[in-house]
């Protein structure tokens, strides 16, 4: 894959260890990765950089959580169209989907390969 054909994925996750694991899996799979530790940092990144192909979003984070981030993202033209994959430890994904709109939901108990396969659906 040529550099100009690569997709950038923004990983929004408060755990540095989880961010690192996700980032390594994505880079190994041929994606470029940007990282943010919370929703506020993610919004700053989005306002200062070209939009990523996809955002991976944790739900429970200190400061601006996933719910607040999605509310802010949806208010900004140009940012609201970026698909979001919610990556969460929440046990009831169907109930979460009713309160937190996103393009896809992946449980943190799933393998990273499951998440990468879901990402490829959006970046193909």
What CATH number should be reported for the domain holding residue 19?
3.40.50.2300
**In the predicted model, is pLDDT for residue 1 greater than 70?**
no
Number of domains present in the structure of the chain = 1
State the CB neighbour count (10 A cutoff) for residue 81.
10
* pLDDT at residue 94, as a whole number: 82
**In the predicted model, is pLDDT for residue 60 greater than 50?**
yes
What residues make up the domain containing 89?
Answer: 3-122
Bridge-partner residues for 56, per DSSP? Answer: 11, 85
* pLDDT at residue 5, as a whole number: 63
State the CB neighbour count (10 A cutoff) for residue 120.
13
pTM for this predicted structure:
0.91
CA gap 105, 61 in Å, rounded: 17
CA gap 108, 124 in Å, rounded: 23
Mean pLDDT to the nearest integer, 66-95: 90
Handedness of CA 19, 63, 34, 95 (dihedral sign): positive
Lowest-confidence pick of 26-30, 45-49, 61-65, 92-96: 92-96
In this structure, what are the phi and psi dihedrals at residue 67, rounded to the nearest 5 degrees?
-65, -45
């Amino acid at each position: 894959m040529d550099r100009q054909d690569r997709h950038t994925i923004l990983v929004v996750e408060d755990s540095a260890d989880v961010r690192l694991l996700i980032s390594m899996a994505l880079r190994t799979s041929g994606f470029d990765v940007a990282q943010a530790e919370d929703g506020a940092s993610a919004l700053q990144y989005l306002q200062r950089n070209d939009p990523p192909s996809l955002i991976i979003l944790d739900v429970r984070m200190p400061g601006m959580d996933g719910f607040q981030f999605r509310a802010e993202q949806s208010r900004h033209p140009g940012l609201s169209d970026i698909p979001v994959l919610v990556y969460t430890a929440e046990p009831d994904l169907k109930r979460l989907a009713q309160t937190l709109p996103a393009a896809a939901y992946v449980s943190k108990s799933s393998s990273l390969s499951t998440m990468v396969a879901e990402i490829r659906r959006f970046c193909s």
